[in-house]
Structure 1
């Protein structure tokens, strides 16, 4: 269910100056984390009041596109788990360049050449499992076995940007392709909506295995949930949760301040505390995680992810329902 949350600098207990600016952020990052993000941002920028719209990436993008079709969007900044969607917005001239953004320490391969959007963290997709029900799997192939597939749930690319990247990336790989997802479906695997539905199903024991972004599983484990996470032997798919400024913003300085803060040390340290891999070189991964440079990341053809995105969603819906 789409939810609208209005968060302001009241979270910090600081009074706004008379010339305060209001910044509207559309995001797919979990609500409780964004509460922390905005509170920390307002410690450095009490003059900027933040209004937040939060939902899954696919629903955020649908809202944004509907607003564009109607004339304009109130959004100033977009923070979503989908560089492919950002690429589409860039091609449609919907983003504003920010060439002065502080990108020191970030792998240049992750940066947009025209400085239209910027990575904020590394999020990988692997396997969550209920550690009180089953032994740990080791590979993506393990999930395709009939006994495992019947106990597997995954997020749908119709709701989750990370899921769209995951499915799109996996079907590009010769060793997986659509055959892998067809086998999963034939053997009883199901799709939920977003990543939250997957975690809930596995944590409650409704399913033994799930396809999930790592930080949700690791955070739940740290909080005592009977789950654990596997980085599969074949590798993980990954997104960078990019942030961008919308071209139609009427508060460009506030928008740039938010982007700059997201790329800075304070935000990266907060991301690690929230269970994300950092993007800035020299920062340690969260406790219990492998170091980011040790991960095997399954490569993707981003141009194909963009051109094939709708076909991937339709094919997935045909297999698992819309």
Structure 2
């Protein structure tokens, strides 16, 4: 009887331990979307309680770095729109490798060779415009430099947005653009907001006619009746893959691996499409009204240069646009 009681007590302890699993996720994905993400994840993993910190990528990274400097972060998982920041964390030995992650169906070219961070979706940056204010939409990045267009243009700042940091860092590597193009925009009246949300709000309200924006925000707003539309510029789009990673030193490694696998799986990819993102798994269609992902022209960037030039890019942009 005593032996049975001991076994029962042990099993009860294991059950309580399983129920008590908690996971802290730091993310730059919009709050309303993350609420949906956590709800869907908990359908598959009701035993894992998720705590969330959400802000722009730059602020998320600043919080992480401050916590590291103070001795450690409570974060277990990081989900941000910045593979360059992930690369820096990897170099600093802040990420845990997960060689058995569920990456079937994902283009190997998008994967970190050491399996420390993983793409979850494709997010491109192009041009949003207000359909009440613009009769002839722009078709190319070069169109934004025209004085009458630049004067009505707003863009996100790399000081706040990881996607913006990638966009600016990529564009300055392109012949015909580089810093002189950004200088021309500034000279002709273009301004910078904070994150992508400020750009969408300004264009949707008619405060600005044009904006540099991630596609899903513009197309989601259009679908909801906002007077905006989106252009995939002729020269191509810059792109981020919103990688997910497990922080080294996590005390919730099993729960973190479960979250990563779920993010890479079919259910999460279908949810991403429903939220307006291009999927990464092969054979999946994008959201209604989006072009075929295979038809996109992605502007290539030297990722090593994106990393090494990151601080300079932010400072130069701030000198031009404030911040």
| TM-score interval for Structure 1 and Structure 2 normalised by the shorter chain | over 0.9
Cα pair 1:24 1:50 within 8 Å, conserved: yes
Instruction: Answer with 1 or 2: which has the greater Rg.
Output: 2
1:203 partnered with 2:204: yes
For 1:49, the equivalent position in structure 2 comes to 49
CA positional deviation for 1:174: 1.2
- Deviation track 1:247-278 (CA, whole Å, cap 9, x = no partner) reads 02001000000000000000000000000000
Cα pair 1:112 1:118 within 8 Å, conserved: yes
Residue of structure 1 aligned with 2:16, choices 15, 18, 33: 18
Query: Any idea what SS the aligned residue of 1:18 has?
Result: helix
Query: Any idea what SS the aligned residue of 1:229 has?
Result: strand
Q: What is the TM-score of this pair, normalised by structure 1?
A: 0.95
- Deviation track 1:210-250 (CA, whole Å, cap 9, x = no partner) reads 00000000000000000000000000000000000000200
Query: Any idea what SS the aligned residue of 2:125 has?
Result: strand
Distance 1:311 1:248 in 2: 31
For 2:295, the equivalent position in structure 1 comes to 294
1:222 partnered with 2:218: no
Distance 1:227 1:168 in 2: 26
For 2:234, the equivalent position in structure 1 comes to 233
Distance 1:108 1:101 in 2: 13
For 2:90, the equivalent position in structure 1 comes to 90
Root mean square deviation, CA, Å: 0.5
- Deviation track 1:130-187 (CA, whole Å, cap 9, x = no partner) reads 0111031100011000000000000000000000000000001111000110000000
1:2-41 counterparts in 2 under 5 A? 18-19=16-17, 20-41=20-41
Identify the range of structure 1 (127-136 vs 210-219) with the bigger mean alpha-carbon deviation. 127-136
For 1:107, the equivalent position in structure 2 comes to 107
- Deviation track 1:88-121 (CA, whole Å, cap 9, x = no partner) reads 0000000000000011111111000000000000
Identify the range of structure 1 (117-126 vs 133-142) with the bigger mean alpha-carbon deviation. 133-142
For 1:11, the equivalent position in structure 2 comes to none
CA positional deviation for 1:18: 2.5
Distance 1:203 1:76 in 2: 36
For 1:117, the equivalent position in structure 2 comes to 117
Distance 2:221 2:178 in 1: 31
Distance 1:34 1:244 in 2: 16
Cα pair 1:73 1:248 within 8 Å, conserved: no
Distance 1:120 1:175 in 2: 31
Cα pair 1:25 1:78 within 8 Å, conserved: yes
List gaps (5 residues or longer) in structure 2. Answer: 1-14
Distance 1:281 1:89 in 2: 28
Distance 1:277 1:237 in 2: 14
Q: What is the TM-score of this pair, normalised by structure 2?
A: 0.94
Distance 1:174 1:184 in 2: 16
Query: Any idea what SS the aligned residue of 2:53 has?
Result: strand
